[in-house]
């Protein structure tokens, strides 16, 4: 049973809030047969074209909406439908409104030929202008969404979800059979398969998409909330070691700068299976909205990214997921392409980016080499040092190799007391220097990998303490780290972007040089 455009809008928007923006369709040249098809489609669908546009309220927030009507000539898009879509996008941009679009279509309207086909260009162009202005564009794909519609405005969302069981693809099964004389492979063009392969962010019913859209717009459209006044100065340094969550009682002996904890001990502590990771930080965020994959057909389960608020501060959060890593499953090129998606998303939506480093190292495999692992590390670094949004990196645990370095060069770098950063795991460095892994503790001690040394070398700005080990106080530590990140975000977002970019350039230009 297909969901009509009006049913979709009724479930998505607050009751009675929808106001149509639609005018009579623009006139197009039609044959008598095509005119009869249009008249019949209007009777069947109860609409004058294959799209409805307008404005409404989503939990009290004004949003612009575009919804396809499949019962009007299979939701196909010709000149009149395209003009209606573009006018709605342009009006949303002019009014500064977030835009929610829900395609369901067989694609281009064949009765209008090539001129209809090229309409996808102007639709995509209008959406590009809307996005470049910093306004959210969220997409909900319905069953079916095919052809040029999927290949243009159906695939340009900052976030893209689909209804369960939806047929979604570029080449329609009927066309494939006609061209090649056989059926298209089953299970490929489904919402669930596209989600598994990192093309879309999730598969949910409309009621859940409404909640997701609400949380997303809370993150992206609401102003940052001030840090609690009861906390006093959110940057309360403990002997230069780190940032404490004000108002939160901390127990146990603090790890102080003067404590000469061996680097190798920090490495071993960082490898504890019960050490809190990025998912524990997200549990203390508000308005979390998970993202998935690159949006281009790749997904890596060793990383996590989401839109979220940390103590009222909006951000795109991306990082290594220690729960998804093992010696047999390490981050590959797709993880870094997901990182770059997060970077570009944060810059386009004009919210800060938070990167969490906690990796045993990048994949060492033929596949990783052939799919451009080294090049993706380089692109991540280059994108980060020039990114047009505030950035915070967090060394949460293990920081091994290029996969860690790819997420490092931010405006501010925080480090857990037992976090570390090294060109290779100490065992790997030992194998290079001594041709044996037995000297790993010695290499850890001599390479300057631990938090205090990273701070003294200007790589890390602040150390967030552990009391004495994050694994023994996972909730306290996660709250403390979230508070530290939020304090940095509040400070960075108050700075002009030009000043941030200049300071970032100076910082990394001087790295390693004497003061």
Nearest to 140 by CA among 123, 126, 153: 153
pTM assigned to the model: 0.90
**What strands lie across the sheet with 313-320, from one edge to the other?**
286-291, 303-310, 313-320, 353-359, 391-399, 412-416, 462-464
Spatial separation of the C-alpha atoms in residues 401 and 359, rounded to whole Å: 8
Q: How far is CA 270 from CA 159, 336, 341, 446, in A?
A: 33, 22, 28, 18
Confidence at residue 258, expressed as pLDDT on a 0 to 100 scale = 37
If you search the block for the tokens 């499953």, which residue do you land on?
329
Spatial separation of the C-alpha atoms in residues 209 and 13, rounded to whole Å: 11
Low-confidence ranges of the chain (pLDDT < 70): 229-260
Q: What is the pLDDT of residues 105-163, one digit of tens each?
A: 999 999 999 999 999 999 999 999 999 999 999 999 999 999 999 999 999 999 999 99
Confidence at residue 229, expressed as pLDDT on a 0 to 100 scale = 58
Confidence at residue 251, expressed as pLDDT on a 0 to 100 scale = 36
Beta strand 202-203 pairing with 159-162: parallel
Spatial separation of the C-alpha atoms in residues 1 and 24, rounded to whole Å: 28
Q: What is the pLDDT of residues 405-421, one digit of tens each?
A: 999 999 999 999 999 99
Q: How far is CA 356 from CA 124, 169, 514, in A?
A: 33, 34, 28
Spatial separation of the C-alpha atoms in residues 276 and 482, rounded to whole Å: 12
Spatial separation of the C-alpha atoms in residues 313 and 455, rounded to whole Å: 25
């Amino acid at each position: 049973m297909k969901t009509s455009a009006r049913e979709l809008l009724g479930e998505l928007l607050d009751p009675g809030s929808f106001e149509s923006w639609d005018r009579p369709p623009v006139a197009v040249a039609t044959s008598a047969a095509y005119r009869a098809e249009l008249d019949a489609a209007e009777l069947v669908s109860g609409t004058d074209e294959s799209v409805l546009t307008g404005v409404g309220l989503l939990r009290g927030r004004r949003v612009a909406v575009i919804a396809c009507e499949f019962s009007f000539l299979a939701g196909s898009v010709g000149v009149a439908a395209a003009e209606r879509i573009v006018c709605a996008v342009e009006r949303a941009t002019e009014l500064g409104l977030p835009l929610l679009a829900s395609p369901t279509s067989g694609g281009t309207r064949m009765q209008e030929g090539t001129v209809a086909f090229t309409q996808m260009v102007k639709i995509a162009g209008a959406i590009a202008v809307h996005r470049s202005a910093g306004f959210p564009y969220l997409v909900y794909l319905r069953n079916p969404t095919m052809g040029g519609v999927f290949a243009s405005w159906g695939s340009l969302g900052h976030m893209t979800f689909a209804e369960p069981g939806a047929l979604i693809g570029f080449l329609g099964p009927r066309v494939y059979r006609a061209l090649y004389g056989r059926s298209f492979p089953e299970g490929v063009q489904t919402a669930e398969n596209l989600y598994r392969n990192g093309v879309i962010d999730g598969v949910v019913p409309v009621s859940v998409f409404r909640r997701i859209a609400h949380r997303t717009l809370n993150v992206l459209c609401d102003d940052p909330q001030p840090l609690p006044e009861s906390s006093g100065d959110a940057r309360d340094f403990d002997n230069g070691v780190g940032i404490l969550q004000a108002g939160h009682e901390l127990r146990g002996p603090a790890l102080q700068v003067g404590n000469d904890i061996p680097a190798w001990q920090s490495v071993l502590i960082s490898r504890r299976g019960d050490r809190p990771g990025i998912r524990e930080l997200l549990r203390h965020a508000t308005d979390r909205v998970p993202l998935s994959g690159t949006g281009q057909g790749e997904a890596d389960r060793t990383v996590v990214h989401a839109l979220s608020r940390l103590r009222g501060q909006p951000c795109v959060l991306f990082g290594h997921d220690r729960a998804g890593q093992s010696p047999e499953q390490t981050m590959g090129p797709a993880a870094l392409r997901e990182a770059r998606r997060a970077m570009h998303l944060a810059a386009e939506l004009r919210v800060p980016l938070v990167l969490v480093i906690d990796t045993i190292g990048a994949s060492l495999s033929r596949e990783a080499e052939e799919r451009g692992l080294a090049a993706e590390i380089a692109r991540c670094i280059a994108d980060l040092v020039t990114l047009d949004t505030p950035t915070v990196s967090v060394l949460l645990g293990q920081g091994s190799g290029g996969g860690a370095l790819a997420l490092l060069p931010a405006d501010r770098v925080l480090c857990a007391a037992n976090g570390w950063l090294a060109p290779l795991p100490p065992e790997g460095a030992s194998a290079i220097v001594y041709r044996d892994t037995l000297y790993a503790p010695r290499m850890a001690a001599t390479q300057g990998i631990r938090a205090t040394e990273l701070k003294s070398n200007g790589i890390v700005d602040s150390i967030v303490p552990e009391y004495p080990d994050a694994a023994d106080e996972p909730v306290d530590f996660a709250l403390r780290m979230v508070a530290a990140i939020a304090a940095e975000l509040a400070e960075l977002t108050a700075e002009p972007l030009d000043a941030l970019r200049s300071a970032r350039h100076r910082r990394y230009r001087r790295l390693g040089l004497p003061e």
